[in-house]
Chain A
Amino acid sequence: MKLITAIIKPFKSDDVREALQELGVNGMTVTEVKGFGRQKGHTELYRGAEYVIDFLPKAKIEVAVSDELLEPAIEAICKAANTGQIGDGKIFVTPIEQSIRIRTGETGNDAL
Chain B
Amino acid sequence: MTTTTRTALTRTLCLLFTALPTVAFAAEGELDGANTAWILTATALVLFMTIPGLSLFYAGLVRSKNVLSILMQCFAITALISVLWLVAGYSIAFGPAESGFWGGLDKAFLNGVTRESLWGNIPESLFIAFQMTFAIITPALIVGAFAERMKFSSMLLFSGLWAVFVYFPVCHWVWAEHGWLYQMGLIDFAGGTVVHVTAGVAAVITAITLGKRHGFLVTPMMPHNLTMTITGAGMLWVGWFGFNAGSALAANGSAGMALLATHISAAAGALTWMCIEWVRHGKPSGLGAVTGMVAGLATITPASGSVGAGGGLLIGIMGGAICFTATYYLKHKVKIDDSLDVFPVHGVGGILGTFMAGILVSQNLGVFSGNGYAEGMSMGSQLGVQVIGILATGAYTAVVTIILLKLVAIATSGLRVTGDEEQMGLDISDHDEKGYSM
Contact = CB atoms under 8 A, between A and B. Distances in A.
Contacts of A52: 220
B222 interface: yes
Interface residues of B, number: 18
B287 A50 contact: no
Given A49-B328, A49-B331, A44 B277 contact: no
B283 interface: yes
Interface string A40-56: 00001111111111000
What range describes how many residues of A lie at the interface?
A: 10 to 19
Contacts of B332: 49
B223 A48 contact: no
B220 A48 contact: no
A49, A51, A53 — most chain B CB neighbours (10 Å): A49
B228 to A, nearest CB: 15
Contacts of B327: 47-48
A51 B222 contact: yes
Contacts of B222: 44, 46, 51, 53
Contacts of B331: 47, 49
B324 interface: yes
Given A53-B220, A53-B222, A47 B291 contact: yes
Nearest to B285: A45
Contacts of A53: 220, 222
A6 to B, nearest CB: 25
Interface in B209-229: 220, 222-223
A47 B287 contact: yes
Contacts of A50: 281
Nearest to B277: A48
Interface in A16-51: 44-51
Nearest to B344: A47
A51 B219 CA distance: 9
B341 interface: yes
A52 B220 CA distance: 7
B324 A46 contact: no
Contacts of B285: 45-46
Given A45-B281, A47-B324, 17 more contacts: A44-B220, A45-B277, A45-B287, A46-B222, A46-B223, A47-B287, A47-B288, A47-B291, A47-B328, A47-B331, A48-B280, A48-B324, A48-B327, A48-B328, A49-B331, A50-B281, A52-B220
